[in-house]
Structure 1
Amino acid sequence: MYLHLIFLIFVTQAFAEEENVLLTEVFTITLDPLLFNWTYEGEPHQYVYQASLLDFPDLPAWIKYVFSEKHKKGFLYGVPPNRNMPKIPLQVVALNTRNYETRIRYINIHISEKLNPAKFEVMMKIDNVNVDDIFDVERMESLRDIFRKHLWKDSENDLYITYLESAIELGARKPLDPDQEEGIVLRLGSQSPFSTNLKDLEDEVKPLWKVPSCPRNFKKTTVERYFRDAGFTLDWCAFRLIDPNNSAMHHSGVKGNALSKDKWETITKDSVPIRNYSVDVTWSLVLPIVLLVILTFLLSFILCFYHNGVYDQASEDFFSNLFHICTDTVDRYKDDPTEQIDTPILNQHAILSGYKPSSNLVKLSPDPALGSRSHTSSPSSTINRGVHCRPNPPPYMRPRFKAEINNDDPNLNEKNWYC
């Protein structure tokens, strides 16, 4: 097992790419299909790259990765920290999305001291470019020519980029238009002291420092024409001259000065905080129950005590006269047994309608053809209910048998038998 690991490490180091970088200077490593012995076939997103520190899941904090849509390439960039790290091993995994072929390349970054590091730096924020635009040699040379030919002529021999970062990473807002550039923050450094033109420019933009950010169409500087002709739109509110003699200025407004640790540190399971949910569960159960009890008590109080003050005259009259309605009906039935159904119904209807019951009820005499049986008007009768009347249906009769038929009665015969 150990021999296998030693052999793997040996093979990895033997076929690794070597990159030499300098302290205090931005380096760039290009990731393209040629690095993995592939041929570019014209598809912009055919190849996907994933870079990390060897045997770690992520890159060091001072190394950034960005994929350029314009160049169809990936870029690793950053500034090496001033620490004793002679070699940084990286692992880059490439994926061909067409056939899902995967290849791995190893890159060893060797850090060395810069012979003449920059002492004076110019910090600026450019709104109309992205990070990958600076990796274009022609674009970068046009920016440096503005300083080497017009603003900082003494820095012609040693002017270089000492810091580069996306404005979004430093807290700027992402533009609303997706096609609009995110903007960058960079610093150009040199050993030469600041020129008079740079100092005059700083004095010119000092009143703008109280504003967090200038609009993109702001052009009120004497050197604006140099940058506009080269295709750069500067945020003059962020323009600074970083002098090593002024330590306060050296660290003002630069979030990228604080370098993080060089390696990604993992966390252990024991260090993850554990939250107790017993209190949350208790409150989620107790609170609804308490509210339910309170609402039940309030509703019971309202129903038990508030209804005593409610008074309805029509309901009181109905319930007070209900007994008399029944007793009067029973008495009238005893006096006249032929009065059966209509009286209580009409009396009750009169009471509910607000009228006193009338004694002039409709009484129907018994039909002589049906014997001594009596009947009342049908519930569908229209007597005394309107002008148009119709006859009532015959009354219901119970079945009669042969034994009940009187042969002396001429009105009854076998045709009227019911069984």
Structure 2
Amino acid sequence: MLYYLCLFLSFSVRIFAEEENVLLTEVFTISLDPSLFNWTYEEPHQYVYQASLLDAPDLPSWIKYVFSEKHRKGFLYGVPPNRNKPKIPLQVVALNTKNYETRIEYINIHISEKLNPAKFEVSLKIDNVNVDDIFDIERMDSLRDIFRKQLWKDSENDLYVTYLESAIELGARKPLDPEQGEGIVLRLGSQSPFSINLKELEEEVKPLWKLPSCPRNFKRTSVERYFRDAGFALDWCSFRLIDPNNSAMHHSEMKESGPLKDKWETITKDSVPLRNYTLDVTWSLILPVALLIILTFVLSFILCFYHEGIYDQASEDFFDNLFHICTDMCERSKDDDLSGSTQTSGFDKTPPILEHFTSNQMVKLSPDPVLVSNSHTDSPTSTVNRGVHCRPSPPPYVRPRFKPDCTQTGLKGNEKSWYC
């Protein structure tokens, strides 16, 4: 019983859904404001909206959502495609950020045929406006009046917007100044053929088509004053006239003839292509081995047949005398020891003035007994073998000759103690 009650309530809610009628090849707008959910507006940024297909997580690709800070409400906009489904059910969830109350509303979009669809279109890129600015009726009428009264007078009765998209969504960069508009790309269509003024304008800006986009104030055309007075800065590099072969009606017929699926289907495992890596592995092994064999053959050929040409006498002498280095070093060290002993033999003789001194008196002449003990092993007459590159030992300590002999001068005992 409870199940049927819930089912009845769900159907009763969907019966009272909002109905919106849209036309093919024409941009529609649906506003989302607090009055749609029986709320009263209190302060900005109080309500948040999220729209999606009924029983689906997101909107279809041809419906866009944008929230306007200027109008303080959200907008659903897009161009309906020519599909088999004439009715598109939407679900909009609103959140009150002040008390976290949520409400749900349902919107049914009914797609209808347009009686006189556009055959000729003018594509424009406006740099200083946002998408929500076009939803302002006065701003949009001022843009239409430029074409209906100045450039395309024959389209006065049936001129309408056939395409609208943000330039950021199409790959453009955001402006450095946040206060500047992000830019939009739109198309205005009509059944009337292009006027002479539009064709002359196309010829005027045709040299700019080689550039993907033009900076602001890059080029001023002969009709620049009309758009500047209305507050529009156009990118003339993106100005195009679209003939009936590329018009909105032509694209609508192409979509109608082709099969379209609303449900996305994943690919199967069998449909994924397989790549054979046998050839890649073979080449990665054969190529290095072949290069190694060729290099080995070339080096062997050079060493075998051109051995005499690479003969170096200096290298041969070096290798022949390489093992005689040790014997040469030993002989050289012996010669150095003999020459050192010959040079230090003159220091072994004691001067005549010091022959009568005893060994104790000689020790006293040394400033430090430790230095005296160390000098025994460091004397030039030491028999310890030293290396060839060692520094030579210092000469033995000799008493200065200018010091007088205390025994011969006849000094007294007290005077000897501090002087000698």
Query: What amino acid sits opposite 1:132 in the alignment?
Result: D
User: Aligned with 2:8: secondary structure?
Assistant: helix
2:393 corresponding residue in structure 1: 356
Structure 1: distance between partners of 2:159 and 2:105:
33
1:11 to partner: Cα distance = 2.3
What are the equivalent positions in structure 2 for 1:261-280 lying under 5 Å apart? 263=262, 265=264
| Matched-pair contact (CA < 8 Å) for 2:126–2:233 | yes
Structure 2: distance between partners of 1:89 and 1:345:
111
CA deviations on 1:74-108 (whole Å, 9 max, x unpaired) are 10000000111111111111111111111111111
User: Aligned with 2:84: secondary structure?
Assistant: coil
2:411 corresponding residue in structure 1: none
Distance change >3 Å, CA 228–CA 261, structure 1 → 2:
farther
1:218 to partner: Cα distance = 3.4
2:107 corresponding residue in structure 1: 107
1:95 corresponding residue in structure 2: 95
1:123 corresponding residue in structure 2: 123
Q: Identify unmatched segments of 5+ residues in structure 2.
A: 252-257, 273-324, 326-332, 338-358, 380-385, 399-420
1:306 corresponding residue in structure 2: none
Runs of 4+ in 1 over 6 A off after TM superposition: 259-262, 268-271, 338-341, 347-353
1:16 corresponding residue in structure 2: 17
1:380 corresponding residue in structure 2: none
1:30 corresponding residue in structure 2: 31
Using the aligned pairs only, state the percent identity: 73
| Matched-pair contact (CA < 8 Å) for 1:26–1:77 | yes
Structure 2: distance between partners of 1:222 and 1:28:
33
2:213 corresponding residue in structure 1: 213
User: Aligned with 1:7: secondary structure?
Assistant: helix
Query: What amino acid sits opposite 2:7 in the alignment?
Result: I
| Matched-pair contact (CA < 8 Å) for 1:154–1:192 | yes
Structure 1: distance between partners of 2:199 and 2:259:
32
2:43 corresponding residue in structure 1: 42
Distance change >3 Å, CA 246–CA 164, structure 1 → 2:
closer
1:156 corresponding residue in structure 2: 156
1:37 to partner: Cα distance = 1.2
Normalising by the residue count of structure 1, what TM-score does the alignment of the two structures yield?
Answer: 0.62
User: Aligned with 1:142: secondary structure?
Assistant: helix
| Matched-pair contact (CA < 8 Å) for 2:378–2:393 | no
CA deviations on 1:146-172 (whole Å, 9 max, x unpaired) are 111111111111111000001111111
CA deviations on 1:360-384 (whole Å, 9 max, x unpaired) are 59xxxxxxxxxxxxxxxxxxxxxxx
Distance change >3 Å, CA 260–CA 121, structure 1 → 2:
farther
2:226 corresponding residue in structure 1: 226
RMSD (CA atoms): 3.7
Q: Identify unmatched segments of 5+ residues in structure 1.
A: 252-258, 274-308, 310-316, 322-334, 362-419
| Matched-pair contact (CA < 8 Å) for 2:160–2:190 | yes
What are the equivalent positions in structure 2 for 1:114-193 lying under 5 Å apart? 114-193=114-193
Structure 2: distance between partners of 1:31 and 1:88:
17
Distance change >3 Å, CA 33–CA 263, structure 1 → 2:
farther
Query: What amino acid sits opposite 2:11 in the alignment?
Result: F
Distance change >3 Å, CA 262–CA 28, structure 1 → 2:
farther
Query: What amino acid sits opposite 1:19 in the alignment?
Result: E
CA deviations on 1:169-224 (whole Å, 9 max, x unpaired) are 11112212222111100001111111121112112211221122122113531111
Distance change >3 Å, CA 161–CA 344, structure 1 → 2:
farther
1:42 to partner: Cα distance = 2.8
2:330 corresponding residue in structure 1: none
Structure 2: distance between partners of 1:223 and 1:110:
39
| Matched-pair contact (CA < 8 Å) for 1:60–1:261 | no
1:145 to partner: Cα distance = 0.6
Structure 2: distance between partners of 1:79 and 1:346:
110
1:15 to partner: Cα distance = 2.4
Query: What amino acid sits opposite 2:243 in the alignment?
Result: D
| Matched-pair contact (CA < 8 Å) for 2:162–2:187 | yes
Structure 2: distance between partners of 1:119 and 1:211:
27
Query: What amino acid sits opposite 1:96 in the alignment?
Result: N
Query: What amino acid sits opposite 1:46 in the alignment?
Result: Q
User: Aligned with 2:154: secondary structure?
Assistant: helix
1:314 corresponding residue in structure 2: none
1:242 corresponding residue in structure 2: 242
Distance change >3 Å, CA 341–CA 57, structure 1 → 2:
same
Distance change >3 Å, CA 231–CA 193, structure 1 → 2:
same
Structure 2: distance between partners of 1:270 and 1:94:
41
Structure 2: distance between partners of 1:111 and 1:239:
30
| Matched-pair contact (CA < 8 Å) for 1:64–1:77 | yes
| Matched-pair contact (CA < 8 Å) for 1:62–1:260 | no
- Higher percent of residues as helix: 2
Distance change >3 Å, CA 193–CA 103, structure 1 → 2:
same
User: Aligned with 2:199: secondary structure?
Assistant: helix
Distance change >3 Å, CA 86–CA 129, structure 1 → 2:
same
Structure 2: distance between partners of 1:171 and 1:242:
21
Aligned pairs, number: 294
| Matched-pair contact (CA < 8 Å) for 1:61–1:261 | no
User: Aligned with 1:21: secondary structure?
Assistant: strand
Query: What amino acid sits opposite 2:69 in the alignment?
Result: E
User: Aligned with 1:148: secondary structure?
Assistant: helix
1:6 to partner: Cα distance = 3.2
Normalising by the residue count of structure 2, what TM-score does the alignment of the two structures yield?
Answer: 0.62
